[in-house]
Structure 1
Amino acid sequence: MRSSKTQFSLSLKLLLICLAFLFILFLVLRSSSQPSSHQIPPLFSSSSSSNSSDSDQTTCSQAPTCTKIPPSLAQAMVHYATSNITPQQTKKEISVSLRVLERKSPCNFLVFGLGHDSLMWTALNHGGRTVFLEEDKSWIDQISRQLPSLESYHVVYDTKVSDADQLMEIGTKEECKVVGDPRFSKCGLALKGLPNEVYDIEWDLIMVDAPTGYHDAAPGRMGAIYTAGLMARNREQGETDVFVHDVDRTVEDKFSKAFLCEGYLTEQEGRIRHFTVPSHRTVAGRPFCP
């Protein structure tokens, strides 16, 4: 999720500013369509004058709060407008997840990785819960000092990219096709050391953009991809949108196709793939991959 310090993308700034403008315009139009709190009450109102006064005071006191920019959006606008660091995903790649968030937010959004785009994801999911899982404890501390509103947890991975072929073979075993809570899975690919609440929540969106996977000694995303798919299949009903970034790399390419399934592939833009994985608990006998 971390990227080199280069010039911030103008197109991404424009995207965020446009979103903010549209949100403010929506609030203004909504507030203007509502009756004014200072209108004279109707002559034949059945309520007493004291009740009308109380109602007017309540409306007046609530109106300013309703028309404010959400704190998460305001913070994101300031952060990115004053930053010279570019998020790793391109505008087109971000737009893939944005389209789903526009439809589903506020929702539960789990992100493997904590980075310079984390505040953006939180702002785009305003009113929902966005949780970040990060392997680097010192990086969490650094980001938390800058952006204390983000909800992040430290995760320890016990795999390496060099183990990918062996883990792929493990993933073909029958125990890895069993749908259930990852904490109790017998599959060697399932991540069992995540915070308990991560397993207890049904995630509407899951973004796999970590852990580090660009060299052999790095943890790799084998377990994260498999576990994301298992969580999606194990939800009680509905479907989960799962995104995998860096699919131009071997691990992300092969593991996403194998465990999120090409049959569930909805879209690919650049280096990001979008899978829509349905619940397997609502249809008896549904195969692991369609």
Structure 2
Amino acid sequence: MKSNNNTKLILLHPYIQKQGGSNRLWLLAFVSFFTIAFLLTLIYTRETSPVKAITTTMAAGSASSSTYGSNAPLPTTVINTLLHYASRSNDSFHMSHAEIKPISDALRKCSSPCNFLVFGLTHETPLWKALNHNGRTVFIEENRYYAAYYEELHPEIDVFDVQYTTKMKEMRELIASTKEQIKNECRPVQNLLFSECKLGINDLPNHVYEVDWDVILIDGPRGDGPEGPGRMTPIFTSGVLARSKKASSAKTHIFVHDYYRNVERIYGDEFLCRENLVESNGMLAHFVVEKMDENSFQFCRNHTSNSSASSS
């Protein structure tokens, strides 16, 4: 009996081991299969994802560049729409369509990229930036706090603040002192960065004086009241910048807003010159000023008309 029992035990023992080994082999095979499958899936995903991302990015970039070319001008319909809504704003200080249109036309005819200098932050500031698409637009503002606020509100806008030292009640004295220094500090052709002329702006960043400005708009600073800074300095400065161009021989389009007022009209005639006035609708005057030789010492060819305008 012992031997039979032992025999049964001996026969059963190998059977149990065989069955257990088979199960473990199947389990090992099952786990190995899914491990390999997982690794293959992971490797395939990592290899194909960058390709898809690059392809998608290239396609998007190609579509973007083809739709909005780096040097493509704004379509006429877009420009007309901008002018339409800007001139119909509820803001009481906005420009009319008749005032905006000549400036827009000058920017459209300007060679690309166009250099546009604007004195004053106004209701139309975003419009000027948009109309000079792909060009350089720089704004000069008298209020440094408003300039900082505006630049924070619109990071795409380049604003520089300037401290005006002139007063409107001094406008005739300033013209007289400028004429006395016309062959020295107040020359028509010079680098204002190094000038001590009372009417010249000399504290802007250096690169502002190095740019050949194609279009200049004077719509600031304040021109109300005898203690206000007036626009004498921007008008004189614009005239010098236009006559002192370095590389470009193209004429400079200078627009003076609120031309019906005494300061704007007298200083416009004195330093931008009546013979350069091509258009005026009362509110906006359009001057076209040519580059001059550095040895020139007069702003205007016709002194008679300017003298009568200054004394009026």
Q: Which has the higher helix share?
A: 2
Gaps of 5+ in 2: 1-56, 302-312
Is 1:245 the counterpart of 2:257? The answer is: yes
Q: Aligned-pair RMSD on alpha carbons?
A: 3.1
Task: Report the count of equivalent residues.
Answer: 231
Q: Deviations over 1:224-252 (max 9, x none)?
A: 10010001000022211111111111111
Structure 1 residues 81 and 260: CA distance shift in structure 2, 3 A: closer
SS at match of 1:159: coil
Give the match for residue 124 of structure 2. Answer: 117
Structure whose alpha-carbon radius of gyration is higher? 2
Whether the 8 Å CA contact 2:118–2:216 is kept in 1: the answer is yes
1:58-207 counterparts in 2 under 5 A? 61-68=61-68, 84-85=90-91, 88-104=94-110, 105-173=112-180, 174-175=182-183, 176-207=186-217
Give the gaps of 5 or more residues in structure 1.
1-56
Give secondary structure in 1 for the equivalent of 2:179: coil
Deviations 1:65-113 (A, max 9, x none): 332599xx89x96x96997435532110111111111100530000001
- Call closer, same or farther: CA 1:64–1:213 in 2, change over 3 Å: same
Q: TM-score, structure 1 length as denominator?
A: 0.71
Map of 1:259 onto structure 2:
271
Equivalent residue for 2:284?
272
Report deviation, 1:183: 2.0
Q: Which TM-score applies when normalising by structure 2?
A: 0.66
Give the corresponding residue for 1:19: none
Q: 1:184 to 1:91 in 2, by over 3 A?
A: same
The answer to whether the Cα contact below 8 Å between 2:87 and 2:96 also exists between their aligned partners in 1 is no
Distance 1:222 1:245 in 2: 12
Name which of 216, 220, 233 aligns with 1:223: 233
The structure, 1 or 2, with the larger RCO (C-alpha pairs under 8 Å, 6+ apart) is 1
CA distance in 2, matches of 1:81, 1:65: 31
* Structure 1 position 259, deviation (Å): 0.3
Q: State which of 226, 244, 261 in structure 2 corresponds to 1:234.
A: 244
Matched residue, 1:211? 221
Residues 257/207 of structure 1: CA separation in 2 closer, same or farther (3 Å cut):
same
8 Å contact 1:122–1:150 — kept in the other structure?
yes
8 A contact 2:86–2:124 mirrored in 1: no
Q: Provide the rounded CA distance (Å) in 2 between the counterparts of 1:156 and 1:60.
A: 46
Equivalent position amino acid for 1:92 in 2: A
